[in-house]
Amino acid sequence: MKNKIEAIRKEKGILQEEFAKAMGVSRQTISSLENGRYNPSILLAHKIATFFGMTIEEVFIFEEE
Amino acid sequence: MKKKDIVFGVIWLLLGLVLTVLCCLETLDEFWSGMGSALMVVGIVRLLRSYRLSRSETYREQREVAETDERLHFIRNKAWAWAGYLFIIICALSTIVFKLLNQDLLCMASGGAVCLMLVLFWVSFFILKKKY
């Protein structure tokens, strides 16, 4: 699943460390999410979308395999 | 959490100390001496971790994140699954090798381990299937 986390985070001028702290996860998790190596749980996806003031669909791009 | 760590740290340390002393007095054999040393190390590590947690705010935050981070939970679960698969494969191969070497007892032990793992898997599967 692709996402726009990195682009949105950079647009808002937030560092990975700050974002990780706000989400209650490690910086490595944010890095993995941004690189698409790890797909978040629905709870984390909701938390991320809420943090950016967006919907899950606006942040995450669901592609059928 | 911190209190629990201290209590368990002290318990392991004392238990290890008692086992080591009993072994020194030749009341118990060497196996228990090794067990005692291991328990003492576990106790010391737990106590040192509690001390570090109480002294460093940064370390406490790092530990909290490490305990709640969902990616680490996912990796941990995946690592356990891999360990289980590898264990079954190694035991199954050992069973064949021991049979070829006419080591019947070892063959039975490794074959039994494979069966036990499969039974544990199915029991866990049915329990989890009911839960979720």
Q: What is the pLDDT of residues B100-112, one digit of tens each?
A: 999 999 999 999 9
Tens-place pLDDT, residues B67-96: 889 999 999 999 999 999 999 999 999 999
* A9 three-class SS: helix
Does pTM surpass 0.90? no
Task: Name the residue ranges covered by the structural domains of chain B.
Answer: 2-68, 70-131
Contacts of B32 (CB under 8 A, 6+ apart): B19, B22, B23
Which residue on chain A is closest to B65 by alpha carbon? A25
User: What would the two tokens of residue A26 be?
Assistant: 């490690």
CB contact under 8 A, B70 and A44: yes
Query: What radius of gyration do chain A's Cα atoms show?
Result: 11
Question: What type of residue is B127?
Answer: I
Q: Is the pLDDT of residue B2 over 80?
A: no
Q: Is the pLDDT of residue B33 over 90?
A: no
CB contact under 8 A, A25 and B66: no
What mean pLDDT is predicted for residues B26-48? 87
Q: Is the pLDDT of residue B1 over 60?
A: no
* Residue B28 burial (10 A CB sphere; 0-12, 13-18, 19+): middle
> How many independent structural domains does chain A possess?
1
Query: Which residue in this structure is represented by tokens 């629905």?
Result: A42
Is A40 an interface residue toward B (CB < 8 Å)? yes
Q: Which of A15, A2, A14 is nearest to A53 (CA)?
A: A14
Q: What CATH number does residue A15 fall under? A: 1.10.260.40
Task: Supply the DSSP symbol for A2.
Answer: E
CB contact under 8 A, B70 and A20: no
Q: Is the pLDDT of residue B9 over 70?
A: yes
On chain A, the residues whose CB falls within 8 A of the CB of B69 are: 24-26, 29
- List the single range of B30-34, B47-51, B70-74 with lowest mean pLDDT: B30-34
Question: What type of residue is B46?
Answer: R
Cβ pairs bridging A and B (under 8 Å): 26
Is A31 an interface residue toward B (CB < 8 Å)? no
Domain that holds residue A10: 2-61
User: What would the two tokens of residue B57 be?
Assistant: 């705010």
CB contact under 8 A, B71 and A20: no
**B25-34, B41-50, B71-80 — which one is most confidently predicted on average?**
B71-80
Which residue on chain A is closest to B62 by alpha carbon? A26
Q: Which of B88, B61, B86, B94 is nearest to A21 (CA)?
A: B61
Contacts of B88 (CB under 8 A, 6+ apart): B114, B117, B118
Which residue on chain B is closest to A39 by alpha carbon? B71
CB neighbourhood size of B26 (10 A):
7
Which ipTM value was assigned to this complex? 0.87
